[in-house]
Amino acid sequence: MTDLLLAGLVGMAVSMVATPLLISWLVKRGIGQQIREDGPRQHLTKAGTPTMGGISIIAASVAGYFVAHIGSAFTTRGIVAVATIIAASGIGFLDDWIKVRHQRSLGLNKRAKAGAQLIVALAFALSAVTWLKVDTHLSFTRFNSTGINLGKVGWVILAVLVIVGFANAVNLTDGLDGLAAGSSAFAFAAFTVIGFYQFRHFGLYQNPAPLDEAAIATAFIGACCGFLWFNAAPARIFMGDTGSLGIGTAIAVLALLENVDLLVFIIGGLFVIETASVVVQVASFRLLHRRVLRMAPIHHHFELVGWPETTVIIRFWILSGLFTAVALGSFYADFIARGGGG
């Protein structure tokens, strides 16, 4: 338990210190966000706001994770998870750098970005079934909770889809000041609780490294909250793809390692809604030549309807918190049903 507290405290402290230093460094070099011309007009005032703040989030999370292990051993699962998160964040960093270098709102082309994400996701999935010996059953609240064995190939496909899907889902959600950072903190809180329960009840969950995974989640809670201090509206810095791809990958990797493959769609319910809104908007326009929403992702729709930005953010945070509560309630209900309350 002390390790988890230390991971969170260090993650927050490093983020609180590193973020303003990063803001100063970015401002001196004129590195700022390029705003999409087809976005809400009120967002044009945000042009030039420092971006790539995800550097401090990922650095703080990694620092929290490593400091929490002073005097204790690392696990292969933890190291593979952290390496995957850093690699995904690296793709985001390259995308952000191209944007600011060429002064445009588009970075890596779609094929290059998607290809790089697939490589990172596939590397994790293959490592998981080869070295980490993950359970290949499709799971909800614990290993083999559905009775469906996907096999190694099926599990690898699932893992790749979940990782790439959530990385891009958080990226889509990162469109309002503090929305992605605040919502992500709720998701990581769920993984912290799940990891701790799996540690206390190994016989039921059979997760070989639950505390290590919980330490990663706790470090991210601290890092996201520390970053949110400067990212809350009106934001002094944006996380950029550097942060959103790293955070989304972290959510997916933790879900896969903690054997909550399906529960993650409830834990990250807000991110699922944001992604679904884009899919529905595109499908409706191509098939029916009509737009269901005024603008996608859905947070922009509510802005154009007339909700103030802070209202959208707070209400979406509430939704994220509710999804977390429902997910943890489902997890605990299964825990009780399996005799865990005795």
Look at 119-123, 200-204, 311-315, 329-333 and tell me which has the smallest mean pLDDT.
200-204
pLDDT of residue 226: 98
Q: Which tokens go with 285?
A: 């326009």
Please give the Cα distance from 199 to 214 (Å, whole number): 9
pLDDT of residue 197: 95
pLDDT digits (tens, 9 = 90+) for 83-99: 999 999 999 999 998 88
Residue 41 — very low, low, confident or very high, per pLDDT cuts 50/70/90? low
Q: What count of Cα atoms within 13 Å lies in the side-chain half-sphere of residue 167?
A: 29
Residue 156 — very low, low, confident or very high, per pLDDT cuts 50/70/90? very high
Residue 107 — very low, low, confident or very high, per pLDDT cuts 50/70/90? low
DSSP state of 235: P
Domain layout of the chain by residue ranges: 2-262
pLDDT at 177 over 90: yes
b/e sequence 138-167, b meaning 16+ C-beta within 10 Å: bbbbbbebeeeebeeeebbebbbebbbbbb
pLDDT > 70: percent of the chain: 94
Nearest CA among 162, 325, 175, 178 for reference residue 248: 162
